[in-house]
Amino acid sequence: MITAIAIDDEPLALEVIDVYCESIDNISLIKTFTSHSKAKVFLNKFPVDVIFLDIEMPKRNGVDFFRSLTCDVKVVFTTAYDKYAVDGFNVDAVDYLVKPFSLERFNEAVLRLINLKKIESDSVEENTHLSIRADYKLNRIPINKIIYIEALKDYVKIHIKDENTIVARATMKSILGKLPKTEFVRIHKSYIVAIKSIKKISSAELQIESEKLSIGNSYKKHLAKLF
């Protein structure tokens, strides 16, 4: 089941999404909002799979609001203007619905969400690949080639052996939850490392491949148990 919220400053637009969700299996609209701030408070307490998000709203652009979120959530933009399409896909939107959109078109977006969730779920179960959206596509990264992962504000930078790094919008917490617990460890608020790649370790830092990474004070006790 896909869980969702919707944000729009027009109550009628929210009613349409509510009716559409009631008409489609496998999606549950948990709550609707006309305010970004109230939606953000809710998301911090009750995570959902996706936000149906209007772009043009008073005070703040919907794309900017989505960029500001730290929780791991997908987005489908809903707007009366197609001029924002590029901005939407620059933040890896799952879909972009131009108002007024039909039930059939809305259902297409839901099917994309379902398929994406299945791909990500299958990948986690296999424990062989990490699936993550970046560079306008879904990347499947072999877990055994990940060296370490670095936090970059609202993004993560994945360092991969013998390949280019991948930068994607995600939180460190969500990424760590998708990796095998016996193969990766968080050593700092900014670093998750592959245990097999660790070359040397001291009280303050460790060497991984040719890089030296700092160890956060709150992670030292856990690392001491591992090594």
Range in 49-53, 79-83, 97-101, 130-134 the model is least confident about? 79-83
pLDDT of residue 83: 60
Mean residue pLDDT of the chain comes to 86
Beta strands 198-201; 129-134: pairing state? unpaired
Tokens describing residue 172: 């460190």
Answer whether residue 182 shows pLDDT above 80: yes
Tokens describing residue 216: 């956060």
User: Which amino acid does the sequence have at 89?
Assistant: F
pLDDT of residue 86: 47
Tokens describing residue 160: 């991969």
pLDDT of residue 126: 56
More confident residue, 225 or 45: 45
Answer whether residue 129 shows pLDDT above 90: no
pLDDT of residue 177: 77
Count CA atoms closer than 13 A to 84's CA, side-chain side: 24
Give how far the C-alpha of residue 220 lies from the chain's centroid of Cα atoms, to the nearest Å: 27
Give how far the C-alpha of residue 24 lies from the chain's centroid of Cα atoms, to the nearest Å: 24
pLDDT of residue 203: 83
Question: Is-contact 5 30, C-beta < 8 A?
Answer: yes
Range in 40-44, 91-95, 205-209 the model is least confident about? 91-95
pLDDT of residue 77: 93
**pLDDT band at residue 202 using 50, 70 and 90 as cut-offs:** confident
58, with CB counted inside 10 A (0-12, 13-18, 19+), is exposed
Answer whether residue 84 shows pLDDT above 70: no
Of residues 55, 132, 136, the one with CA closest to residue 96: 55
Question: Is-contact 163 176, C-beta < 8 A?
Answer: no
Report the SS3 class of residue 20: helix
**pLDDT band at residue 44 using 50, 70 and 90 as cut-offs:** confident
pLDDT of residue 118: 77
Percent of the chain with pLDDT strictly greater than 70:
90
Full-model pTM: 0.60
Residues in contact with 185: Cβ distance below 8 Å, sequence separation at least 6, in sequence order: 192, 193, 195, 222, 223, 226
Based on C-alpha coordinates, what's the Rg of the chain? Answer: 20
Range in 4-13, 77-86, 105-114, 192-201 the model is least confident about? 77-86
Question: Is-contact 55 84, C-beta < 8 A?
Answer: yes
Answer whether residue 72 shows pLDDT above 50: yes
pLDDT of residue 135: 76
Answer whether residue 111 shows pLDDT above 70: yes
